[in-house]
Amino acid sequence: MSVKKQTRASENADPHELHNPVPRVLLGVIAALVVWAVYYIFASSPNSLPALGDQRDPSVLAASAEGDNQAIDGRQIFTAACQACHQATGQGVPGVFPPLAGSEWVTGDPDVLARIVLHGMTGPITVSGSTYNGAMPAFGTQFDDAELAALLTFIRGEWGNGGSPVDADMVGATRKATQAQTQPWAGEDALRMQAAPASSG
């Protein structure tokens, strides 16, 4: 009997939650953050026009009313629509996506290049001595003539390419001449066959 009493006496008391209030310092920090947040909301003027992150004037990010394609950022279009496949370096992915840097298709006849971008392509195409057999989507319905002209001008002059600029009128003429093309070009042979009459005239 005495052993049991001694054992119980040596045991620690059952734990229970004490009344521990939040430290005043922590409450002060929370209150200060709330005050700062309210001040920031009013001081930041959320209803005003936000400044561009790279500080460019908005007029250079969109075509002007006259349709000057120089106002469109061809690099920006490339980054959004083409870079995932052709890479920022223009080197593409070996065996999968052809390079744009040093490509005869890029620096050659701009009408042929416009046809590829407008309608896309499936099937084999030889670029810089290597054959690729993939699929490129059409961008004719995604971008207008001025945007495509800015894109083509960018890739024809980037990565050491020496192609001349492309204007919206040329893209528009190619779009009109190929309006019956509702499917991607079936390889480079089909593209050359269709492009030959237009190029010869």
Number of other residues whose CB lies within 10 A of the CB of residue 174: 25
Architecture of domain 69-196: Orthogonal Bundle (1.10)
pLDDT confidence of residue 149: 93
pTM value > 0.85: no
Distances (CA, A) of 54 to 43, 68, 82: 22, 22, 22
Q: Which residues in the chain land under pLDDT 50?
A: 50-52, 59-70, 197-201
Angle between helices 145-157 and 168-177 in degrees, nearest 10: 110
pLDDT confidence of residue 178: 87
